Amino acid sequence: MNTKHLKAKILDLAIRGKLVLQDPSEGNAADLLKKIREEKNKLNEQKKIKADKNSSFIIKAEDGRHYEQFADGSLIDIEDDIPFEIPENWCWCNGKEIFSQMTSKKPEGEEFKYIDIESVDNKLQKIHHPKIMKTSNAPSRASRETRIGDVVFSMVRPYLKNIARISEDLENCIASTGFFVCRPKEFIDSKYCYYLMISSYVVNGLNQFMKGDNSPSINSNDITDFLYPIPPLSEQQHIVSTIEKAFEQIDIIEKNKLNLKTYIKQTKSKVLDLAIHGKLVEQNPSEGNAFELLEKIRKEKSDLIKQKKLKEDKKSSFIIKAEDGKHYEQFADGSLKDIEDEIPFEEPKGWTWCRINEIAVDMADGPFGSNLKSEHYTTNKEARIIQLSNLSDEGWREENTRYTTIKHATENISRSIVEPGNIVIAKMMPAGRAMICPDKEQMYVLSSDCVKLVPIEGVYKQFLVRALNSPFFRNRVVDNVQGVTRQRTSISKLRSCYFPLPPFEEQKRIVDKLEQVFQQLDILEKSLGE
């Protein structure tokens, strides 16, 4: 359920007279508009407002058609301009009929409250924080007087819906001239006016009048000449009450959706945590022992070194669990180091601890900034640069596309070339997030903020990337970040991270179970909508 669309639908029904039942006892909007015109004429006679020689109002004649009647008594048939049918006791009118003339006010005192575009939350259509400005620094556009109940409507890019109602706590604010201030006349409910102005009918209808390329805008005449559906006052109030009750329930639904999405995210993290601790699936002795798996991995690495396909690491080591039940790190010279106090948790039977570097054929980070600068970029689709923005919790994110030349990649930064299927890890915060490089481009290279990991045979790639994204691993990476403004980890710290390794077949069973659980959670999350 898309709650945003649901709210829009309710507003659409409301302004079409389909949200509440009509009650003949509530009168007719024509009488209401007549009272407004009478009041306007009184103010003209008292010279309290300036007479508008271009004023007009809309009538529905006995022939059932709509006409615009002008001050000189002339009529224009506007039936073809009427957007949709409304109830019999409703009326169409233009903005001049229902909105008072805007008034200007200059800032006074030392400070004043100023409403500009940035003051409006265009997702909620509310003013979240008017600016407190010194009068001496007042911008020239600060001259629109506002009163409680007014609706400010941005005339710049109206499709962005920078629209809000002036509430009681915003009294005496001054708005930018970029706003049209809709001040409903007597007999027009201010909240009905607000819901009318944020409706898709009004916003989309006014969008069509936009002019300009850099800052497409409408003008005040576009708003005052526009056609608005008006019900009797008591029905306006009934509509407002119904909308507010409906929106309150929708907001509860939205809050519950957010809570449920948070719960789903937390559940995924918990399931990953269970997986990395060996508690998601049962251990099966017939699947062998991870220590034996590591021995095979070390032999494979030794063979690759002999074939000169892999560079020997003289600082290599491996972890053993001795007969005394304690963990030791054994180095190339045969020496042992007691690391029992460093082991994060007791591994399940059949598992073993290792360092990330032990299960990688290759680990490399991105080039120094001087080796991959803007001058090395190309508009051609050659070697895609993997950037932090491409790494998300859900895997590869298709955005921020940049390329360098294949020539530059192969000749100058070959260590940073990434093959599809390699694992890429973020060094920058949120550090540790990992994904499998997709098969979408002819070549990939790392940016300076990423690390590639090529897992050795015997380690299930899908298990490894799931484990790297677990809270256990992420937290350990974050604990080792450095820097103040640009916090990051290093490839050496990633290499040395402890990693709990299960037997190969158990790795596969864990991934199968994770995919089953995550698939159900994803279905649930998708059902919530945006």
Contact 185, 36 (CB under 8 A): yes
Structure tokens that stand for 97 in this block: 């009929």
In three-state secondary structure terms, 289 is coil
The H or E element containing residue 296 is helix 290-306
Task: Note the pLDDT of residue 71.
Answer: 79
In three-state secondary structure terms, 389 is helix
pLDDT digits (tens, 9 = 90+) for 145-189: 999 999 999 999 999 999 999 998 888 899 999 999 999 998 899
pLDDT digits (tens, 9 = 90+) for 249-287: 888 878 888 888 888 888 988 999 999 999 999 999 898
Most confident by average pLDDT, 70-84, 187-201, 378-392, 443-457: 187-201
The structure tokens 């509530």 sit at 26
**pLDDT value at 46 more than 90:** no
Put simply, whether the predicted model's pTM sits higher than 0.75 gets the answer no
**pLDDT value at 43 more than 80:** no
Taking the C-alpha atoms of residue 161 and residue 201, their distance in angstroms, rounded to an integer, is 12
The H or E element containing residue 249 is helix 233-276
Assess whether the previous peptide bond of 500 is cis (omega < 30° from 0): no
Task: Note the pLDDT of residue 264.
Answer: 87
Higher pLDDT, 13 or 254: 13
What percentage of the chain reaches a pLDDT higher than 90? 36
What are the extents of the domains in the chain? 1-100+184-236, 101-181, 286-509
The H or E element containing residue 517 is helix 504-527
Identity of the residue numbered 179: F
Taking the C-alpha atoms of residue 520 and residue 522, their distance in angstroms, rounded to an integer, is 5
What fold, for 286-509?
A: Adenine-n6-DNA-methyltransferase TaqI; Chain A, domain 2 (3.90.220)
26-40, 69-83, 151-165, 185-199: least confidently modelled range: 26-40
Taking the C-alpha atoms of residue 258 and residue 243, their distance in angstroms, rounded to an integer, is 22
Identity of the residue numbered 529: G
Report, as an integer, the average pLDDT of 493-502.
87
Report how far Cα 335 is from the mean position of its chain's Cα atoms. 53
The H or E element containing residue 443 is strand 443-446
pLDDT digits (tens, 9 = 90+) for 361-391: 788 888 876 777 787 888 888 888 888 888 8
Please report how the helices 504-527 and 233-276 are oriented relative to each other, as an axis angle in degrees rounded to 10. 180
CATH classification code of 101-181: 3.90.220.20
Report, as an integer, the average pLDDT of 40-54.
71
Report, as an integer, the average pLDDT of 451-479.
86
Nearest to 423 by CA among 398, 456, 401: 456
Task: Note the pLDDT of residue 360.
Answer: 84
247-256, 281-290, 392-401: least confidently modelled range: 392-401
**pLDDT value at 486 more than 80:** no
